[in-house]
Amino acid sequence: MNNRTYSRSQIGLHWLVALLVPVQYLTGGSIERTHHAVHMGMTPAAWDVVQHHVHNYSGMVIASLMAIRLVLRIISRPQSSPSNSVPDRIGRVLHHGFYAAIIGQASMGFIASYLWFGIAPYHVLGSKIILAMVALHFAAAAWHTLVAKDETLDRMILPRSDASAKNLQGN
């Protein structure tokens, strides 16, 4: 089992991103409606314009939070050596994939909004990939809690002191 501990900053950033990602899915449809109305020479609905802005700016916030998370992850190495079990290796790949996918998604959204709309289909594809990753992430959290009955999920809810981390490691 991976006994990595997370700081309050890492935990807080994780949950902020977790709260903002659904906002992206809930407001994403407004992008197409807004652009369709403009291309048809119509005025977009006011609520669609609000959602469009929420989507764009939330995406920029997510990109910033993920960049900070990445920096924290790089400078805050795990206190213990990671396990080489297959589930732990899959977890590491999924987490690295989240960084790449979410930062890439935010970058494509920025490009689609402000530089070149032609990238929009890839942005939509990216949202589907992230949704699949989130589903896998939820399944893994459920597996750790219900099947493995370990403390993996607990480590992302409450930060641990060095003493409790050592107790986890059996030191």
Hey, is 62 helix, strand or coil?
helix
Domain boundaries, given as residue ranges, for the chain: 8-169
Cβ-contact 2, 156 below 8 angstroms:
no
**What pLDDT does residue 164 have?**
47
- The tokens describing 67, both together, are 């960049």
The CATH homologous superfamily for domain 8-169 is Transmembrane di-heme cytochromes, Chain C (1.20.950.20)
E strands along 20-171, which residues?
none
What mean pLDDT do residues 153-165 have?
Answer: 64
* Residues 6+ positions from 14 with CB-CB distance below 8 Å: 6, 69, 156
Q: How deeply is 142 buried, as exposed, middle or buried, from its count of CB atoms within 10 A (0-12, 13-18, 19+)?
A: exposed
Calculate the alpha carbon distances from 150 to 91, 143, 146, 155, 165 in Å.
14, 9, 8, 10, 14
pLDDT tens for 110-155 read 999 999 999 999 999 999 999 999 999 999 889 888 998 888 788 7
pLDDT tens for 34-82 read 989 998 999 999 999 999 999 999 999 999 999 999 998 888 765 555 6
Residue 94 has pLDDT above 80, yes or no: yes
Place of tokens 């989130």: 134
Residue 3 has pLDDT above 60, yes or no: no
pTM of the model: 0.81
Better pLDDT: 35 or 6: 35
**What pLDDT does residue 64 have?**
96
Residue 171 has pLDDT above 90, yes or no: no
State the sign of the Cα–Cα–Cα–Cα dihedral 103, 69, 160, 81.
Answer: positive
